[in-house]
Every structure is written in C-alpha cells, then in structure tokens.
Amino acid sequence: MNGIYNASPNQFEFQQAFHQYIILTRIISGPGCVSEVGAHAEKLKGTHALVVTDPVISKLGLTEPIIESLQKNNIETIIFNEVEENPHWQTIDKGGQIIKENNCDIVIAIGGGSSIDAAKSMAMMGTNEGSILDWEGIDLFPNDPIPFMVVPTTCGTGSEVTRGSVITESSRSRKLNVGSDRMRANVAFLDPLMLANIPASVASATGVDALTHAIEGYVSNIATPLTDSLLIGAIKLISDNLRSVVADPKNVTTTLNMQFAATIAGMGFNNAQLGIVHAMSEPLSPVAGVPHGVANAILLPHCMEFNLNGRIEKFAQIAEAMGENVEGLPKHIAAEKSLDAVRKLVEDVGIPSGLADVGVKEEHISPMVDQAKVHGLLNFNPRRVNAKEIEDIYRKSL
C-alpha cells in the first residue's frame, strides 16, 4: 500500500493491494469533554506538554480550558502558537527542537488541520534527527513519536484519526506528505463548545472539505464495504448538519454531528484513500495561495462530473444520502443528482463559485498541472486521468 500511495500514476500499472482497516485513536466526545485532557495526558505518562496551536485560537482563549486541565493534573506546559495556515517545514523543525530542548513527553494539538498536522509532525521530530524534509514518505523515520492528543476546533480535517501530515515547502511551491501509523493521535476530543464561535467561512470550508473526504473515499477504487459504511454515513451527516453549523455553531447537537462526520470521514478515507480532487487541490495552496478547504469545495463538483461514469451506482447512492429523490430514475440520471446536491450545498454555505474568485490566475494553471498529474492519489481515482483532462478541469473551475 505504501508504494502505491507514493508512486506516480505514470510509474507503473496500478495493481490491487490487500485491504487493511486501521483505527488506533481513542475518541472522546461531548460538550465540555476537553476537561479530561489532563487526565488522559497523565495516563499517557505525560509530565511536560507542548501545546501546539495558531495565533487566532490562542487569542480566542480556546487553549485555556486545556491548559487548566493539564495544570490540574500537574503537567507543565509550553505553548507554541506560531502555526500558520498550510504549515511550513521550518515551523515543524522549530517545534521539534523545542520538544528536545525542554524534554517534552507529550504533544497536544488545538485547532484545525494545520495545527493538527503540525503537531503530529512535531511529535515525530521530537524523537528523530534532521529535518521533517528528511522523512518525506510513509513510515521512513526510525524512532517512535512521543504521545500525541488532539482537540479539533473545526469540523472538517479528519486529521485527528489519520496517519499523515501535509507540510508546505514554499521554496519549491509544493506540499509534501509525512505519515505513519505511529503518528496517529492517541486520543481525540470532539467538544462542540470548542466550535461555538467558529466563523461561517471556516465552518463552510472545513465542512465541505469533510464532504470531499467522504465522497472521494466512497468512490475510491480500493474502497470496501467497511469504508463504504462509514463514508456514506458521513455524507448524510454533513448534508443534514452543515448548513445549520454555518448558520449557528452554538447548536451543540448539529455541531457535534459535524465533528462526528469529519472524524468518520477521516476514519474512512485514511483507509480507502482519496482521488483527483485532492491531487488537484494540493498545488492550489503553495502555487496560488488558496486555502485547502476552499480549493476542495470549488473543485469537488467539477471532479465529480469527470468521475461520474466511473462509479454511476455509487454517485446515485450519494445523491440519495444527500436527500435527492432518485426513486424510479435510471441510474445515470440518479447519479447526476449528486452533482446538483453538492452544488446546492456549496452555494448555500457561501463557498466562492470559482477559482478566479479566490485569486487563481491563468499563469498558475501550468505549474499546478505539473504537480497534480504525478500525484500518487490519482492511483485511487475511479477514472483514469491525464494532464490535458486535469488542465481542462482547472480551466472549467476558474
């Protein structure tokens, strides 16, 4: 599986691998559950914690209940609140050095996908030498990371239950992946109170990111009945709850449902993998500065349309899960209804309609195609794709 993930689609003919399903993270959920962070850190023998977050989360005071819980359990804390959107490799290396210098023995991420991915990699760099750039790929580092826990503050990443982290290398305008089952979080806390003041733009972008995870995993060519059962459930939860969360994140029922959906989608796609949407969205951040969730949301309906003939039955099931009436319709017509459902949801939650609206220009297309056309995730896409077709989708998405 690792070789399949890393190899470009041009390097070999895709061959089916044995299926595996792995989930190693304890999930604790409910309003106020972050009060238990300290107790679980203590169970993991933590005494000195590095708390990893971003400046906005820190300013909003969302770190305070976690710090209080840690202090209650006599765990010393260092706050690292310098994580940027699409975290850079230099940030990861800095965090790893802080862990080593201060003998930190547990890492706690508070935030969205950027903070979680950064913390996940810092926990690994705390026990390994060199730079995060030295360990690009799957399970290449020698030493196990220190324990790692997660408090998500968005409803989309899924990184709380996945094995990988995505890091930016700005000098080469690219993203790199570092991952291992050893990097999975020990404990994840789904507390809807942590999302009570989430901006509508963040809720919508991260929520559609979760939908993208669920749809791409569901139609993946290595999906199984096990991952299907998770991912179709996540699609329904997102369709039923995202609009409400964008309108009123203080509704703990719908907000917790969206947290569950993001986590369930992560559990599914981390085993079934993703496809063309993520292969095309990853270059949009380093090349054109587009936030990951927004990039996925804009590309999703166009990539679904491209993939439709590869999974007609499953796209019809997606339409039904999203509330479309498909009774009595021919399968190909029912499948097209999934496009209508996704476009309506994206519009309702206020995602920009095209890439040009978020700063993508004509000159960005060629370097993005160069990166996307060799992305390993294309191996899992339900339809074969070439560079010309990727370019056409980018232009259609403008």
Work out the average pLDDT over 240-244.
Answer: 98
CB atoms within 10 A of CB 72: 13
Work out the average pLDDT over 364-378.
Answer: 95
In the chain, the largest separation of any two C-alpha atoms, in whole Å, equals 65
Single-letter amino acid, residue 143: N
The answer to whether 340 and 359 have CB atoms below 8 angstroms apart is: no
Query: In this predicted structure, what is the pLDDT of residue 10?
Result: 46
Pairing mode, strands 174-179 and 137-138? parallel
List, in sequence order, the alpha helices (H) in 141-224: 200-219
Judged on CB neighbours under 10 Å (0-12, 13-18, 19+), 366 is: exposed
Q: How many CA atoms lie within 13 A of 67 on its CB side?
A: 13
Write the DSSP symbol of residue 383: S
Work out the average pLDDT over 140-146.
Answer: 97
Query: In this predicted structure, what is the pLDDT of residue 31?
Result: 97
| Low-confidence winner among 21-30, 228-237, 334-343 (lowest mean pLDDT) | 21-30
Tens of pLDDT, residues 183-228: 999 999 999 999 999 999 999 999 999 999 999 999 999 999 999 9
Query: In this predicted structure, what is the pLDDT of residue 17?
Result: 56
Average pLDDT, the chain: 93
Band of pLDDT at residue 15, cut at 50, 70 and 90: very low
Domains (ranges, CATH) in the chain?
A: 31-195 (3.40.50.1970), 199-397 (1.20.1090.10)
Write the DSSP symbol of residue 88: B
With a pLDDT cut of 70, the percent of the chain lying above it is 95
List beta partners, residue 168: 88, 175
Query: In this predicted structure, what is the pLDDT of residue 216?
Result: 98
